[in-house]
Amino acid sequence: LWIACTNPAQSLPNQARVRAALERAELVIVQDAFRTTATAALADVLLPAASWGEKEGTVTNSERRISRVRQAVPPPGQARPDWEIAVEVARRLEKHLRPGRPTLFPYTQPEQIWLEHRESTRGRDCDITGLSWEVLERAGPQQWPYPAHASHGKPRLFEDGVFATANGRARFVATPYRPPAEEIDARFPLRLTTGRLRDQWHGGSRTGTLGRLFGHAPEPCVELHPAELARRRLAVGDLVHVTSRRGSLVLPAAASDAVRMGEAFIAMHWGPEFVAGRGDERASFGVNALTVDAVDPASRQPELKHAAVRIQRAELPWRYVAFGRVPAARQAALQFELRSRFAAFGYASCVPFGHDDERAGLLFRAAAAAPVEAATLAAIECAFGLDESAAAFEDARRGVRSRLRVDNGRIVAAALAGGADDVRAEAWLRDLLGQPPPVPAYRLLKPG
């Protein structure tokens, strides 16, 4: 299985089934610009790909407008453009499958591949045989169709009333309504829908590394109507199990008037890269552990927008939070490292925060039924620089623990553990990052 430029271990529905398939495959090759995706963690071979701006080529937008893409910076390390990776693999296979014969992959430049693609459009409704990279360089972006001998593309399709069908007539398809593949019932009485956040993109492999893009939605949560929360005797911030027939996920509850009674909303971006733990004793794989793998028969698009779920309070009274300022160059690596600690908790999440470099950092939040072993907490705290030199308070019997680091007279990191009251100071303590402590550090650590 060769996966390029997509993240199925986050984005496909019914993640338990997806992961079983990935583990069963004899060889999983992942070709991606980011090693931090959930799918990259399951790869046998990881091929580093060049990202946009690191390669040459063209891009076509939804207006049918083709633009030239020029390399702005060279790819880092061993990363290569996608076409170059494919050509290199093909040539190595040829040596075994077609020994001594001329290569079927003679490409040395991306323009050669584009010219072959251009020829494949000849005589079709997307004909671009009159277009060239030289035209795109000289005249700028152009719309298809752009057939041979044309002087410009076609801004509006079908103006002549002739459509790309056998008889030239438009074809309308009347699609009858079909109910969701999975209806609610007494065991799963809520309708879960998923969708986008304003500032995030797909699985967040790129956008999920910038603290300022978490200003709109700072942490993973499940949104419910305020009356739904009240009916279930839940408060904002309470941890809940969100469970479907396929999996379970623990999340904090949030109130939203945009969600109707009887419904729940979880953003599609909250995959195992950001949130995990164990839901009802099963491993949790993010929001798509819950979704249905029924598909539309024509488009094969999964029914990601509707699943039947139940919501129950999660009995995880022991809480833990660690946060601190992190150099921008180290943030992505640290975020990736902290994900390996998720499995120790009943709930865990790790997200960046901060709107500028001076206040940027990482927030690790977790909960469990009982205090987690000290070695795990020490490893997390060490990642934030909360080592033996940090001010500390500990009551092992009660599972209460506090750490605070002050460098050059300014607070740079902290960790709090215990009951809900013992970690409550996080709300104001995080606002003090980068500032001198208002009182001696040891007083900030005192319980209550």
DSSP tag of 418? E
- Asked if 248 and 309 count as a contact pair (C-beta separation under 8 A), the reply is no
The residue assigned the tokens 């680091």 is 405
Percent of the chain with pLDDT over 90: 77
pLDDT for position 232: 95
Query: Rounded mean pLDDT of 41-48?
Result: 96
- Asked if the model's pLDDT at residue 233 lies above 90, the reply is yes
- DSSP secondary structure, 365-389, as one string: EEEESSPPPHHHHHHHHHHTT-STT
Give the count of alpha carbons within 13 A of 211, CB side only: 20
- Asked if the model's pLDDT at residue 443 lies above 80, the reply is no
Confidence of residue 298 (pLDDT cuts 50, 70, 90): confident
Please give the Cα distance from 43 to 36 (Å, whole number).
Answer: 12
Confidence of residue 359 (pLDDT cuts 50, 70, 90): low
Centroid of chain to Cα 171: 38
Point out the least confidently predicted range of 218-232, 272-286, 364-378. 272-286
Prior bond of 145 cis (ω within 30°): yes
Q: Name the 3-class secondary structure at 111.
A: helix
Percent of the chain with pLDDT over 70: 97
Please give the Cα distance from 97 to 99 (Å, whole number).
Answer: 6
pLDDT for position 330: 86
- Asked if the model's pLDDT at residue 84 lies above 80, the reply is yes
pLDDT for position 415: 96
Query: Rounded mean pLDDT of 72-86?
Result: 96
Please give the Cα distance from 20 to 285 (Å, whole number).
Answer: 12
Amino acid at residue number 312: Q
- Asked if the model's pLDDT at residue 445 lies above 90, the reply is no
| Helices within 294-351 (DSSP H only) | 328-339
Confidence of residue 442 (pLDDT cuts 50, 70, 90): confident
pLDDT for position 448: 56
Q: pLDDT digit string (tens) for 252-292?
A: 999 999 999 999 999 999 999 999 876 555 567 899 999 99
Q: pLDDT digit string (tens) for 100-114?
A: 999 999 999 999 999
pLDDT for position 357: 63
> How far are the Cα atoms of 155, 345, 407, 444 from residue 143, in angstroms, in the given order?
7, 53, 57, 63
Average pLDDT, the chain: 92
pLDDT for position 104: 96
How is residue 324 written in tokens?
Answer: 């601190």
Q: pLDDT digit string (tens) for 180-221?
A: 999 999 999 999 999 999 999 988 888 888 888 888 899 999
